[in-house]
Amino acid sequence: MDATVAFFFDLVPVLADLPGWLSYTIIGAVLTVGAFLFIAVFALVGIWLERKISGHMQDRLGPMEVGGWHGWAQTIADTVKLLVKEDIIPEKSDKILFRFAPFLMFTASMAAFAALPWSAKFIPANLNVGLLYILSVSSLVVIGILMGGWASNNKWSLYGAMRSAAQMISYEIPVALSLIVALLLSGSLDMQEIVHSQAGGIFNWNVFGYFPLLSIAFIIYFIASLAEVNRTPFDLPEAESELVAGFMTEYSGMRWAFFMLAEYANMFVVSAIATTVFLGGWQPIAPFLDFIPGPFWFLGKALFLILIQMWLRWTLPRLRVDQLMYTTWKVLTPFSFALILLVSFIKVL
């Protein structure tokens, strides 16, 4: 946290004069509110973009009315509607868990924002095990989903939650293994260190390391991360055509919105991890583009990956449960093990 505190002291010198506990609390609160606002705005834009892209891919236009220009205010109107909606809790549900689940899921996905490196100077918490921290907190999401599905006391919800648990536990393995391949090159779990190790233009990024070995690792990570965040073609926990809405079936209004918010926050987190580990984080494409600030590159690369996620969502149909398990256990996991062996062998040589 020291780098962040120094960053804030540089920004607002008055903070340095306050007692330590007060300045730390203020900085923490500002960062939290900032992260929340970022997630909210990102979800608004992301959902709008998703609807527009899906519309155009199906030769439609998507939302066009609200706000005038191409329905830009559609998601804002939807949010206002969700805020004023009645909060329905099923009578036979486990009320405490039912209420708690969306917040647990949202907290877990928001906690990951603490260790994302936005630029050379700005990273909310510069942990020396940053990547490990993100991987562990984001695996808490599955508990939120399982909790919501179980507490709803509804068979659709339970099916969705069970599928989600099976899916996420299986796909954590290729996610972690493919990241290890990149870590062999970078040699650190510290997010800033990983980014620094990829300095000097696009061909020094990890995705082109030992070409094409790391590219394969990147693709494995990308596929597995799709499953991690329940995106099509791995959206079995939601599966609106078979399970109504999966674990979210009984949720309405703001609680449902929090699930949605967490989903989009997770999309951003997995894209941000891919950006940091494989695509050079906040490093520019070529060294002479240094004058463009780091957050631009970081956000740009992450949004590019999110666009690919959306593109895939509107291209591929949902997998069957057995196909899902086949993909992870028989394809992704063996391949990432092979990559680890190959890369470490080459590195030792």
Partner 1 sequence: MKEYFRNIYQAIVTILIGMGVTLRHLFTRAVTIQYPHVKRELPPRSRQKLYVNMDDCIGCFQCARACPVDCITIETIKAGKDEDLGETSNGQKKRLHVITFDIDMSKCCYCADCVFPCPTECINMTPDYEFATYDRDDLLVHFSKYSAEEAEKLRERDRKEKEAKMKAAAEAAAKKKSEE
In the complex, which residues of this chain contact partner 1 (CB under 8 A)? 53, 55-61, 64, 311-312, 314-316, 330-331
Pick from 107, 85, 90: nearest CA to 149 = 90
* Cβ(104)–Cβ(143) below 8 Å: yes
Residue closer to partner 1 by CB (options 58, 128) is: 58
Smallest distance from partner 1 to CB 53, Å: 7
Smallest distance from partner 1 to CB 61, Å: 5
Residue closer to partner 1 by CB (options 60, 347) is: 60
Smallest distance from partner 1 to CB 185, Å: 24
Residue closer to partner 1 by CB (options 58, 344) is: 58
Residue closer to partner 1 by CB (options 203, 326) is: 326
Residue closer to partner 1 by CB (options 55, 90) is: 55
Residue closer to partner 1 by CB (options 71, 281) is: 71
* Cβ(298)–Cβ(118) below 8 Å: yes
Smallest distance from partner 1 to CB 327, Å: 9
Smallest distance from partner 1 to CB 313, Å: 10
Residue 291: exposure state from Cβ atoms within 10 A (0-12, 13-18, ≥19) = exposed
Smallest distance from partner 1 to CB 170, Å: 18
